[in-house]
Amino acid sequence: MSDISDTRRHAAKVPVVSTTILVALAGLSLVAGVAASLYVLSRAGQGGRSAGADVLLSVGCLLGGMATGCLLWGASHLLRRRSRAALLHASAQRTLRQRAASAPGSGGFLAGPAVPPAPPALAPRAPQPPVVAVDSGGARSAEQQLLQGILAQLKALNENLLLMPEQRQAKLRQQRGQLAGRFIGQIERAIEAGQFPRAERDLAEFAEEMPEETDAHQRLGERIIEIRDAAKLAEIKGRTREVYDLMAVSAFDRSEALAVELRDKYPEEPKLTELVDRVRREGRMFLDERRDRLYREVVRLAEARQWRAALEAARKFVESFSEGVNADAIRAMMPTIEDNARIEEVREIRDHIRDLIERRRYAEALQAAEEIIRRFPDTRAAGELKQQLGRLRELSKNSAGHHPSER
């Protein structure tokens, strides 16, 4: 371990010494240029040369020293940056080797879990299976993935440092083109899936991130409008057909609800407002026709003295149409219809009792008589049957005491 540390310190000292020497040389060059310039100026006009030539020579010495110094300082700066990148690269590789050496089975210890790098922007996130258990192999792969990402970033940084400005611009354009392609693909998928709000959000983000792609923005915006309008027209056509189908089977409540929902979804379409008005108008016409038909049915049954059927029709009419002139007329007729319906039912039961007595089924006749007395106690038939209950009970008892063959 000490040999490795010494090697590291020696490797770190080499660029430091080199950069220090280069900086010192740059300073000496600058000082030498200034000294030479001052020396030439001090001897201007001597040695058979003109003063103008000596001044130009002095300026040349000063510029030469400054240029040499700048070049040496730039070389030291570039050497420092490259050495720093090399040290980071070597450190990452060394950490990777140490992680691999500390894995189970190699005699080392497993370090704490590292956080995996975040997925790249705009990349669709694949569904992750439920985590059942975490083993050392999974932690090791996560650490390796992290270190490999660091190495890739260091490699890209090193490559960018070595590239010329034109090459950097070309690489940047390529990366921007790839990003634009991901944006366009994502928006196209949202359009094909009919997710137009999502497509509009992605297009707004695309325009914000890459404002220079105006042609792509315009093309995608027009495509969203075109596909969305086509989908809207198809939906309106299909739902309108459903409204008409419901109207055909007299389901006006459901057809009106569907038409109102469609109108509220697309309020800018005037045809949908007309559709709602038509459904409501035909629904009112259907109700008016049904009300008139039921009213005529009640009147017809009452005139035909079919009182129980008339009573049932009248009750149905009042339940369906509780308001209006016809409803008031039906309510006025109800007491008469109810009384006549009771009389009609009592007569039918009384005739049935007579038939049972003629056939000597006295027990059944007794039950029917008791039912009339219980249900219609205030009728004449109930009063007559009360007088005959004793005789019917006696006949029923006698008939129960004899065998059917003795009758």
Q: How many angstroms separate the most distant Cα atoms in the chain?
A: 178
CB neighbour burial string for 339-373, b if at least 16 within 10 angstroms, e if fewer? ebbbebbbeebbeebeebbeeebbeebbebbeebe
- What does the pLDDT look like over 170-192, one tens digit per residue? 877 888 888 888 989 999 898 88
Contact 24, 17 (CB under 8 A): no
Per-residue pLDDT of the chain (407 residues; tens, 9 = 90+): 444 445 455 545 556 777 788 888 888 888 887 888 787 777 766 666 666 777 777 778 778 888 888 888 788 777 777 776 666 666 666 665 665 555 444 444 334 444 444 444 444 444 444 444 444 455 557 667 766 767 666 666 655 565 677 777 887 788 888 888 898 999 989 888 888 889 889 999 888 888 888 888 889 888 888 888 888 899 899 999 999 999 888 888 899 999 999 999 888 889 999 999 999 999 989 888 888 888 888 888 888 888 888 888 888 888 888 787 888 888 888 888 877 877 777 777 777 777 777 777 777 777 777 777 777 776 666 666 666 766 777 777 776 655 444 33
List Cβ neighbours of 361 (8 Å cut-off, separation of 6 or more): none
Distance CA 387, CA 112 (A): 105
Residue 227 identity (one-letter amino acid) = I
What is the C-alpha to C-alpha distance for residues 311 and 333, in angstroms, rounded to an integer?
10
Residue with tokens 């258990």: 133
Instruction: Pull the structure tokens for residue 363.
Output: 């027990």
Flag whether the pTM goes above 0.75: no
CA pair distance 92, 312, nearest whole angstrom: 94
